[in-house]
Amino acid sequence: MNQEWVIEAEGLTKCFGAFVAVDHLSFQVKRGEIFGFLGANGAGKTTAMRMLCGLSRPTSGKGTVAGFDIYRQAEEVKKHIGYMSQKFSLYEDLKVWENLRLFGGIYGLKDREIAAKTTQMLQELNLEGERDALVRSLPLGWKQKLAFSVSIFHKPQVVFLDEPTGGVDPITRRQFWEMIYRAADQGITIFVTTHYMDEAEYCDRVSIMVDGRIKALDSPKNLRNQFQVPTMDDVFQRLAREAKRKGD
Amino acid sequence: MRPFFSFVQKEFFHIFRDKRTMLILLGMPIIQMLLFGFAISTEVKNTKVAVFDPSKDASTRLIKERLQASNYFDLAEELTDPGQINDVFKDGNIGLVVVFSEGFASDLRHTGDASIQLITDGTDPNQASLITAYATGILTACQQELAGMAEVSGRIVPELKMLYNPQGESAYNFVPGVMGMILMLICAMMTSIAIVREKETGTMEILLASPMRPIQIILAKMAPYFVLSAVNLATILLLSAFVLHVPIVGNLGLLVAVSLLFIFLALSLGLLISNVVNSQMAAMLVSGMGLMMPVMLLSGLIFPIESMPEILQWISAIVPARWFIAAVRKIMIQGVEFHAVAKEVGILALMTGLLIAVSLKNFKTRLS
């Protein structure tokens, strides 16, 4: 196992019948880096991410996450990753502490650990007063931050974030990215998909997927230089224009 | 096991938080038992009787007294004209009209062949035939008495006896039926809704990306409803024993074991439903219509299976509640041993195995 790479994909492919959703994807993600996974709707981002999380079985190709094979050791992979989905991923009708307790329990944490981490986490989020509040009653931005904290509650090696900042205001997005940076500082690798190109600038490296393939992969700065454009948005526009698939 | 218990705990949080649903879950069996027990009664009790008696002699008086004395009938009206018969039925209070022939006693004495007419309301044939049966029973007894007075002997008088349920109480029939219906509805509907809700809110994806195994998720979903159903089972049995006075003749252990098997079957059916539908609404409709109707109509709860057209009898064979209700009737009311319900239990076990196999396979394929 290569200590430097925490995610390795080689020729990863997923077909749904005749449709090739993800076409021979090959890339590596460094330990502790923030890796932006960009692409238009329907480009195959979510499918690729689901394969890496063990939610979906690849049609062909190889992949390892946190040192475990995504085919044969899916259960081990799941123990060492965190996942926050596009849809909101906490239980709305449960209290804040009940959600934390559940996810702590699912990942095999002990009662005492869960209690200690809960207190610490709520302090960091300034949510101590909301410990007994139903998640339903929290504003969306708080929920997203809470969901992210839950996804790294068990200290995973990699956390997969599927459009985590959809629908929240710019200030909350900013705060959210500060949380991402803090997590990365603790050594957690961040694998994030996003629609917002300003967020792409915050990543260490980004890949841009078009029609199921990776068209570009580098740091935002190098990509801007390579395409000789001022922003990541321009890079994205340039590449996405070549897409034949229609977004859905 | 830790993840499993955390998950079961969370399921209980969901259930306790939703007070309304919980009230329905725990209240439904009570309401249904009381409803079937007191409101919807198919037995004959204090049916009002009108009599047309042009003869007015000792024999007719005896018969009238006997009718009045029984628990089944109340003499409400003496008619003076046969033309009134139609009217009293239309008024709706009278369930039976007894018409004696003119010169009833003298006919009886001289020819031994007096006639008496029982008229019932045929718009409700079941009730009508029950009333006729009870009235005939009383008349037969009277006949014996009158025959004794007339010193005519050598008649064969059939003595009727209903085994296991001498009073003909309808509770004996519906308690097993209500058990089948409640357990099926609560287990199947609630499990399917609980699983589909996770799909709808997107939390299922988070669960599948966690180290929890699908089988753990499924079992953890089922566990709370298994407990709730056991509570309901206890409620039903207690109500039936102490409020409706339906005794449990057979082995209580056997009864509980068969019920738990049925609960498990219903839970797996709920799991299967949750695999095919994608919204809570659809889950509710499928389990409500798809399960409630067959259980009501084809399980023998309301309509006896023996009197159904053959094709419906075949269809009823795939309704699990039919076999459960049959087994419960045998154990609870007849008090049979295990070997007598082996067939029903075997079929239920087979169905459970099949349902679990199919739904587990489906649940797994959803992941890949």
pLDDT digits (tens, 9 = 90+) for B41-100: 666 778 889 999 888 888 888 888 888 888 888 888 888 888 888 888 888 788 889 888
A11 belongs to a structural domain: yes
Q: Does the CB of A57 have a partner CB in chain B at under 8 Å?
A: yes
Tokens of residue A19, six digits: 């449709």
Mean pLDDT for the stretch of residues B311-317? 89
Q: Are residues A71 and A35 in the same domain?
A: yes
Higher pLDDT, A190 or B357: A190
Q: What's the complex ipTM?
A: 0.85
A205 belongs to a structural domain: yes
Rounded percentage of chain B residues whose pLDDT exceeds 70: 92
Residue A107 lies in domain? 90-155
| pLDDT higher than 80, residue A244 | no
| Long-range contacts, B239-246 (Cβ 8 Å, 24+) | B239/B29, B239/B30, B239/B33, B239/B34, B239/B37, B240/B33, B240/B171, B240/B175, B243/B33, B243/B34, B243/B37, B244/B33, B244/B37, B244/B171, B244/B175, B245/B171, B246/B169, B246/B171, B246/B172, B246/B175, B246/B332, B246/B333
Of A108, A129, A155, which residue is a domain's last? A155
Q: Are residues A8 and A66 in the same domain?
A: yes
Q: Are residues A46 and A162 in the same domain?
A: yes
At residue B157, the pLDDT reads 58
Query: B202 vs A88: CB contact, 8 Å cut-off?
Result: yes
Mean pLDDT for the stretch of residues B195-212? 88
Q: What CATH class has B47-149?
A: alpha beta
Distance from CA of A79 to the nearest CA of B (A): 5
A3 pLDDT band, cuts 50/70/90, is low
Q: Does the CB of B367 have a partner CB in chain A at under 8 Å?
A: yes
A29 pLDDT band, cuts 50/70/90, is very high
Strand partners, B47: B73
Q: Are residues A119 and A176 in the same domain?
A: no
On average, the pLDDT of chain A sits at 90
pTM: 0.77
B368 pLDDT band, cuts 50/70/90, is very low
| pLDDT higher than 90, residue B353 | yes
Of A105, A122, A155, which residue is a domain's last? A155
Give chain A's largest Cα–Cα span. 54
Q: Are residues A136 and A208 in the same domain?
A: no
Q: Are residues A24 and A68 in the same domain?
A: yes
A102 belongs to a structural domain: yes
| pLDDT higher than 70, residue A225 | yes
Q: Are residues A72 and A14 in the same domain?
A: yes
CB B67 within 8 A of CB B138: yes
A96 belongs to a structural domain: yes
At residue A176, the pLDDT reads 92
Q: Are residues A171 and A60 in the same domain?
A: yes
A174 belongs to a structural domain: yes
Q: Which of A200, A209, A158, A205 is nearest to A25 (CA)?
A: A209
Q: Are residues A14 and A33 in the same domain?
A: yes
A55 belongs to a structural domain: yes
Query: B3 vs A54: CB contact, 8 Å cut-off?
Result: no
At residue B289, the pLDDT reads 84
Residue extents of the structural domains in chain B: 7-40+169-367, 47-149
Query: B211 vs A101: CB contact, 8 Å cut-off?
Result: no
Query: B206 vs A104: CB contact, 8 Å cut-off?
Result: no
| pLDDT higher than 80, residue A127 | yes
Q: Are residues A218 and A188 in the same domain?
A: yes
Mean pLDDT for the stretch of residues B275-292? 86
Q: Are residues A73 and A100 in the same domain?
A: no
Q: Which of B122, B127, B78, B121 is nearest to B100 (CA)?
A: B78
Of A110, A134, A155, which residue is a domain's last? A155
B86: which residues sit within 8 A by CB, 6+ positions away? none
| pLDDT higher than 50, residue B308 | yes
Alpha helices in A153-203 (DSSP H): 170-185, 197-200
B124 pLDDT band, cuts 50/70/90, is confident
pLDDT digits (tens, 9 = 90+) for A69-126: 998 898 899 999 999 987 778 999 999 999 999 999 999 899 999 999 999 999 999 9
At residue A224, the pLDDT reads 92
At residue B122, the pLDDT reads 82
pLDDT digits (tens, 9 = 90+) for B150-187: 555 455 556 666 677 766 666 777 788 888 888 888 88
At residue A96, the pLDDT reads 94
| pLDDT higher than 70, residue A15 | yes
| pLDDT higher than 80, residue B363 | no
Q: How many domains does chain A have?
A: 2
Q: Are residues A143 and A186 in the same domain?
A: no
CATH number, domain containing residue A243: 3.40.50.300
At residue B42, the pLDDT reads 62
CA pair distance B348, B209, nearest whole angstrom = 35
pLDDT digits (tens, 9 = 90+) for B215-240: 888 889 999 999 999 999 999 999 98
Query: B9 vs A101: CB contact, 8 Å cut-off?
Result: yes
Distance from CA of A57 to the nearest CA of B (A): 5
Distance from CA of A226 to the nearest CA of B (A): 37
Tokens of residue B4, six digits: 């499993």
A85 belongs to a structural domain: no
